[in-house]
A = this chain, B = another copy of it.
Amino acid sequence: MNTTIIKGNIISAPELGKLDVTEHGYLVAEDGIIRGVYETLPEQYRGQPVEDYGEELIVQSFADMHLHAPQYPMVGMGMDLPLIQWLNTYTFPTEAAFRDNDFARETYRKLAAELVANGTTRVCMFSSLHREATIILMEELEKAGVTGYVGKVNMDRNGGVNLEETTEESVEETLRWLEQCHFEHIKPILTPRFVPSCTDELMERLGRIAREQNLPIQSHLSENTGEIAWVSELHPECSQYWEAYAKYGMWNDRTVMAHCVWSDERERKALKDAGVLVAHCASSNENLTSGYAPVRVMLNEGVRVALGSDIAGGDKISMFDVTADTIRASKARCVMDNWKTPFLTVSEAWYLATSAGSRFFGEKPGFAPGNPLHAIVLRDDNLVSTTRLSPAQRLERAVYRRQEHAVHAVFSAGKKVYTA
């Protein structure tokens, strides 16, 4: 039995808006699986080595539930353009570069390192349509210690000359890719890019693969009003966008739909009834002027919501920053609703950035026994303050402001994968 004991001020998010704090506590894992959080070390662990982080914070690491790996080279670019122009001018040409395996290897290694260094240890990630680059991405994530789902993108229309497959290629390459996926911590997820990128035939065949191989699914939904109008032209038989996924069997509790900015009451009910997870991407929605998702309403209605950086519609790789953007976007929503919709508090947004996402990977909220150990050790001793701050106040501050190399150590699936 391999025992890990880390000591510090332990904070976890057991439910929306709640933080559990154990000052100078012990977080214990055996063979990478959390056994408990303790104020004093239980008898059976006495004498085992303890990694003592003193006054530092030990918090859950992040689950980034929506991001595009091949857009990493264009983070922060083209933000003055609206979604569809931005896709055609920046995104599709950038993704097309991943036909080059060497470039993919080098780029994805940097991305994986940057994710881990920022405390993101679980992802639900889009690759490009390239099968080989997708396998390279999965290898690099696995090596760096990132866990979760990665999808080879399917797109057999509207991608432009350098970024399109035929329907047949798309299906065959997907099947070959699925055969090649033998990773411990990185698993495949079916990834039709979004409705405008996939013909009906492709959607149907992907839906069948999902059923036959019991695979989760990720895509985009109701990000932007122009996109919604386009989908409605493409699928006049569907009264709402989501139905173009549901009709092909891509609408269940293993589905992640990014954005849902414009999901109205009926679409939200469909999300809730099916148990679909909404990956809310505040930074991206703000950058691309997509709108402000009704997150508070979704939470009140029982829709599952977690957070995504949406690199590169989003410009923030650090989920600390994405959490802050999530709060700010909810404040914009509050102002737009004439101060009638309460904004997300720091502890609520923190829950969405951690526990809400990790649930998609089968975990219980917080540092619950039975969860794999995913944690960030965070230091802030170099920041000035006039009074002694509580651990919860220090976490709040960390969402907005961190010293250089604030992330001191990161644990993923039981292993220490990063030390500053």
Contact = CB atoms under 8 A, between A and B. Distances in A.
B334 A72 contact: no
Contact of A400 (B75, B93, B400): B75
Protomer copies: 2
Contacts of A107: 384
Nearest to A100: B386
Nearest to A94: B386
Chain A: number of interface residues, binned into ranges: 35 or more
Given A289-B339, A386-B97, A396 B315 contact: no
A80 B110 contact: no
Nearest to A329: B332
A59 interface: no
Interface string A329-360: 00110111001000101100000000000000
B73 A400 contact: no
Given A97-B386, A386-B93, A396 B289 contact: no
Contacts of A287: 328, 331, 400
B289 A335 contact: yes
Q: For A80, A389, A393, A397, which residue has the most chain B Cβ atoms within 10 angstroms?
A: A80
Contacts of A110: 384
A93 B74 CA distance: 43
A79 interface: yes
A106 B327 CA distance: 32
B396 A77 contact: yes
B286 A77 contact: no
Interface in A265-293: 286-287, 289, 291-292
Interface string A4-35: 00000000000000000000000000000000
- List 6 tightest A-B contacts by C-beta distance, closest first: A76-B400, A76-B401, A315-B400, A97-B386, A76-B397, A332-B332
Interface of A: 72-77, 79-80, 93-94, 97, 103, 106-107, 110, 286-287, 289, 291-292, 315, 324, 327-328, 331-332, 334-336, 339, 343, 345-346, 384-387, 389, 393, 396-401
7 contacts: A74-B385, A75-B397, A76-B396, A76-B400, A77-B396, A80-B345, A93-B387
